[in-house]
Structure 1
Amino acid sequence: MSTVDQAASAVSAPNSGFGTKGYRSFVLGSLLLVYVFNFIDRSIINILTEPIKASFGVEDWQMGLLGGPAFAILYTMLGIPIARFAERFHRVWIIAVAVFVWSLMTALCGVATSFLVLFLFRVGVSVGEAGCTPPAQSLIADYFVPKSRATAVSIYALGVPLGGMFAAVFAGFIVGNLDGPSLAALFEAWGWNWMLGLLDWQAVEGWRVAFILVGIPGIILAFVVKLTIQEPPRGYTDPPSAQKLEKASMKDVFKILSGKPTFWHIVAGATVASFVGYGVAQFTTSFLVRTHGLSLETAAILFGVIIGLMAALGVFLSGYLADQMAARHPRALCWMPALGMGASVPLYALGYLAPTVWLALPPLMAAATLHYFYLGPMYAIVGGVVDSRMRATSVAVTLFIVNLLGYGLGPPLIGILSTFLKSVFLSGNDLGMTLETCKVVADLTADAAATCASANSEGLRWSIIAFCSLYAWAAVHYLLAGRTLMRDMMPKEL
């Protein structure tokens, strides 16, 4: 607690941030690693959609529930209370405990005995992950001065595409390349015989192995975070007038935010982008498997490495370029994301309509780079319209809305739309095929199986294209935010 209150004694806002340049880089790298694990653990379910679906005998709409509401509801509900806690107490402790909880819950997903149990463990993952970003964004604001903060938060935001990339590569390798070994076999091969007596690992195989092996390193990371990251004085990079302000109540926060139209347009645009992004990410690997006939391993690698790296490039460039252009074009934080998301719409349509995967990849890679231009500026703006007393809460309010509506509704609604369109495509066939008859694959003739596969593929393809067109809506909100950006940002943030 002593470091939290040291800001009151600060004489002036420093020019270089808290700690040495090397230590600030270490802290930012550590927080990036935390966020990478955050997104590995939440998005690995997307890569494993097909084997989990087959294991429990469920449809796309049920997998959408697993990928969306199972995670989003408590994640959003707990975000604001945890952020309020982070405004007053030790933020590093909060992050360390959060990493431990979500990593443990991820590992437990690997021993789920039913779809319902897996759903409940996913809820547990969301409880832990709710304690990550609000305190992390507050820490970054105290470690980095405003002129370099957009770059810093964009580097932190790289956790989104990088986490998705690593989840894709790892899950694809486990399920596709290891041919479903039990975890017991892996422990024996690695010489970890002491693990064999702790649980019956023979039943833990295939997709279950992926959950456990990504969960265990996160538990270790939780201890590393607590032991190596120092809690900075709260408001360290703020001017003296801001450092001397009293604690802000929730009423104070909403009073400030209610008069900031920039904030609400940014939140609206990010919500739409999240709705599309989480929904499409849930089923992109499945699309590559169903439409282009790729193995799960190949589909995961293409989605994770190629598209994921391009998305990471877009996240970094958005913050870096905004910092570089801030002096001459201060509204770049708004118009760059708007241009990026608007241009991504036709590129996504071209990619998902392409007849081969190799024709699909170039437009999909370009679209991923451009649409992710919104992420870094989003964090920079929602933290920049308030002072240091309110940053964690401002970020938490943003994540509450973005994830409740975007993450909570995106995956299930695209799953529902995919299932509906699948039934529409089936209704026009001459074989009398329906959703129910398509479930019993072993009893189908070759023509019937081909009809079901085609409907399954086309239903998902057009669902994804419909969702991607909504990026244009998100772009409009970022353009509108630019009209009031200069007025609404705190003076020290410009």
Structure 2
Amino acid sequence: MANNEPTAPVSADDVSTLGQRWYVLFIMMLAYAINIADRYVMSTVLEPIRLELQLTDAGVAFLTGVSLAFFYVIMGIPLSWIADRYNRRNLLAASITIWSAMTALCGMSQGYMQLLLARIGVGVGEAGGTPSCNSIVADYFPAGRRAMAMTIFALGAPIGAWLGADMAGYVAAEYGWRMAFYVLGIPGILLAIVIMLTIKEPKRGRLDMVDDSAAPNLTETLKYIWSQKGMVHAIMGSGLSALWGWGLMWFTPTFIQRAYGLDVGEAGAVIGPIHLIMGIGASLLTAWLVGRPSYTDPRKVLRLLSVVTALATIPSIYAYYTNSLATATLMWWIFIPAIYFYIGPAMSLLQNLAPPKMRAMVIAVSLLVANVFNLIVAPQGVGLLSDYFAGPAGADAESLRMALLVLAPTGFWAAWHYWRAEKYAYDDQKRACGYV
């Protein structure tokens, strides 16, 4: 960046202390962790639920993934519209309360319809969470520090995935799958109270030069997104990363149980530590990398995402090709970190490519794309393919393996979009924030 280019108009130290910024970031990270845990506990107990309700792979995918994602997508836009105009802190607290209560209700479900309605409730509540968190964090950290801040925020993903895999798997193995939902649902309600009591709503866009007179509507937001070629490719890259990585993860506990004869607790113990150790490690490494002065340039962040995603796609394919649990586990130790590596940088890129009063809506659009891919296309597609490959005999380990091998190469597609975004991102960020 040249010395005569504009910088942030207000210092973060002028509007908050270092302790306040990091406290808010920590609480937002916890909210994200609970969000991920409450969403992905279902993938851990997928097989016990499928067997109890006597469902096909496609049927259980629709019940547990598509039902949540459909209403998550529908509610994401109106709730983000609210977040761009009204109190984000209040919206976040209400959203956490709703999705946590509905998670607990999943454990109380006694049949297909009750579980379906509870999952819909989880989706509705979660729709207001991440956009509000992102927008709040962006008003505590300037553009040059958002990649680092959002990567710390993204630590919630591996922590939440570990809770939803290892801890939930242990609880389900010991006390039944319903108890896992109780254990993960209750803490969220307590966190909502903490947010209401300890966090204040920050002034919107206080660290940016660009300040629109009014928050844009959905049509204006979509037109703006389409005009930002770098943003379009960044949204597609992050969406396809979710399709690839989190889509594979959705059926992985079930695959481990079928292919290697493990129970739900043992399968969770294979994947859970990888999420916790390597997910946190990857997130911290990313935070360190993008926190360096040279990574204030969005083009370098995108180049990093492209290379890491492309390289990690190779072990993601071999993990489901091999018949050795030891080899597959090694491949997961290499591949799974990449599904966390992209989250923080991708979110910060979108925050910096969007004007302040459009950020929650842009994140909602990004999440819409990502969740259509990873909660609708991936689970339903893998489920349908597994049933198709199995034939009349019914889905088994080999049919699921073949379906997952169809999905795994999509990581290369995500890497291509990050590479293309690099060409446009610098000019797009100056247009949105007024500085790079």
Does residue 353 (structure 1) correspond to residue 350 (structure 2)? The answer is no
- 2:105 paired with 1:108: yes
Judge conservation of contact 1:18–1:142 (CA < 8 Å) in 2: no
SS in 2 for 1:377: helix
TM-score w.r.t. length of structure 2: 0.93
Tell me the residue number matched to 1:230: 200
User: Which residue of structure 2 aligns with residue 482 of structure 1?
Assistant: 422
- In structure 2, the partner of 1:265 is 233
CA apart distance, 1:17: 6.7
The 8 Å contact of residues 74 and 123 in structure 1, kept in 2 or not, is answered as yes
User: Does the aligned pair in 2 maintain the 1:103–1:125 contact within 8 Å?
Assistant: yes
How do residues 311-390 of structure 1 correspond to structure 2 at under 5 angstroms?
A: 311-324=279-292, 326=294, 330-390=298-358
Report the CA distance between 1:315 and its aligned residue.
3.3
Distance in 1 separating the partners of 2:14 and 2:359: 17
* Separation in 2, partners of 1:321, 1:394: 25
Question: Residues 191-210 of structure 1 correspond to what in structure 2 (within 5 A)?
Answer: 206-210=176-180
With over 3 angstroms needed to count, the CA separation of the structure-2 counterparts of 1:363 and 1:17, relative to structure 1, is farther
Q: Residue 17 and residue 340 in structure 1: after superposition, are their counterparts in 2 closer, same or farther (change >3 A)?
A: farther
RMSD: 2.0
Any idea what the Cα deviations from partners look like across 1:56-84, whole Å, max 9, x if unmatched?
11111111112321111111111111111
Asked if 1:399 corresponds to 2:367, the answer is yes
Amino acid at match of 2:221: V
1:316 and 1:376 in contact (8 A); partners too: no
**CA contact under 8 A between 1:110 and 1:207: conserved in structure 2?**
yes
**Matches of residues 25-424 of structure 1 in structure 2 within 5 Å?**
25-176=22-173, 178=174, 180=175, 206-239=176-209, 242-243=210-211, 245-324=213-292, 326=294, 330-423=298-391
Unaligned stretches of 5+ in structure 2?
A: 1-7
1:426 aligns to what? Answer: none
Offset, 1:52: 0.8
Which residue identity does 1:409 align to in structure 2?
V
State the alpha-carbon separation in 2 of the partners of residues 329 and 395 from structure 1: 20
Which residue of the partner structure matches residue 407 of structure 2?
A: 467
Q: Deviations over 1:203-232 (max 9, x none)?
A: xxx111111121112112111111111111
Structure 2 letter corresponding to 1:355: N
- Of residues 476-485 and 338-347 in structure 1, the stretch that sits farther from structure 2 once superposed is 338-347
Instruction: Quote the offset at 1:256 in angstroms.
Output: 2.2
Measured at CA, do residues 250 and 348 of structure 1 come closer, stay the same or move farther in structure 2, by a change above 3 Å? closer
CA contact (8 A) 1:325 1:332 kept: no
Deviations 1:103-161 (A, max 9, x none): 11111111112112201110000010001011111100101122211011111122222
Distance 2:335 2:14 in 1: 35
State the 1:309 CA deviation.
2.8
Return the TM-score normalized by structure 1: 0.82
SS at 2:368 equivalent? helix
Identity of aligned residues (%): 31
Deviation at 1:300, TM superposition (A): 0.1
Counterpart in the other structure of 1:191: none
Q: Contact between 2:290 and 2:296, CA under 8 Å: does it hold in 1?
A: no
Q: Which amino acid aligns with 2:254?
A: S
How far residue 303 of structure 1 moved from its aligned partner, in angstroms, is 0.7
Residues 17 and 146 (structure 1), Cα distance of their counterparts in 2 relative to 1, 3 Å cut: farther
- The one-letter code matched in structure 2 to 1:343 is L
- 1:18–1:24 Cα contact (<8 Å) kept: no
**Which one has a bigger Cα radius of gyration?**
1
* Structure 1 residues 287 and 247: alpha-carbon distance in aligned structure 2, compared to 1, 3 A threshold: closer
